[in-house]
Amino acid sequence: MSEPAHRAVDIDHLKTWIGKTEQDEDRLAARHAMLMAATLGVDGAAVRNAGVLPPLWHWTYFLSAAPAGELGPDGHPARGGFLPPVPLRNRMWAGGRVRFVEPLPLDAVARKLSTVKDVSHKVGRSGDLVFVTVEHRLEVDDRLCLVEEHDIVYKGPGANPERTRAAGPDAPRTEAARILRADSTLLFRYSALTFNGHRIHYDADYCRREEGYAAPVIHGPLNATLLAGLAQELSQRPLREFSYRGHNPAVLGDALHMHVDRTEDGFALASRFADGAICMSARAR
């Protein structure tokens, strides 16, 4: 049975989740990192020899393992546990900020403390929007290694708005560029590696009928991971900070042009569609 199309947003009730915490522990297995390298077309031997996780690969660990009976219609775990029970059906990554304090060593046991930092309600062109910000702190041997703020956006059902042109130059001065042409195998492998059951990434009928996408959606964190990797490759040293923001969702069939340009204190990045509209923008240093 599907969830109701819309219920009133009781933002005061949702805000009572602010301050809620949960803890987890995982081994940053080199084997899993090698599978990620194969998925992204990265030299696995180089990753193993470096002995640390590349930027944002920590997203393939600390995986939620909710039983099938506890999943909602969209394939995500049912709400109302750690995350607030937002009554808007569609959920997406909106963006985030990551600070890399120390490297995350392969095969080390890491601990993660997650805290709901903020819950806010806005009204956009497509209706109600609820933003939830979660902080994650990763430690190895009681040493802080990474601090992340992750922004999640919830919105109601219906057709997605027309692609918008985000702020940014129409013809960027590009120091490095690549083109991502994602296929269904890449999306399947990334979903499998992150144990992501969200149906927008693999169920084309669900995408069209329930969430208004023309085809399966390219993962926001996959997009961000590729941008961060490109920035680190250009900088030739580990990143210290990375922030990213999603502007327009990309689906199978979209070719994403990934640009990296130097700034005074680091790099400005963007993945763009063929028409110049921005899918995701980012900053790195």
CB 265, CB 271: distance < 8 Å: no
Kindly give the interhelix angle for 30-40 and 220-235, rounded to the nearest 10 degrees.
90
Tell me the pLDDT of the chain averaged across its residues.
Answer: 89
Total-model pTM = 0.89
- Cα separation, 17 vs 83, in Å, equals 7
**pLDDT tens-digit readout, 132-164:** 999 999 999 999 999 999 999 998 876 455 566
End-to-end CA distance of the chain: 47
Distances (CA, A) of 263 to 176, 195, 201, 231: 13, 36, 34, 12
The 3-state DSSP composition of the chain as helix, strand, coil percent (nearest 5) reads 25, 35, 40
| Distance of alpha carbon 256 from alpha carbon 237, whole angstroms | 25
Superfamily (CATH) of domain 11-284: Hotdog Thioesterase (3.10.129.10)
| Cα 186 from chain centroid (whole Å) | 15
Confidence of residue 175 (pLDDT cuts 50, 70, 90): low
Helix axes 184-193 and 30-40, enclosed angle (nearest 10): 160
Alpha helices in the chain, H assignment, sequence order:
11-14, 30-40, 44-50, 184-193, 204-206, 220-235
pLDDT in tens, 257-273: 999 999 999 999 999 99
CA distance 30 to 47: 9
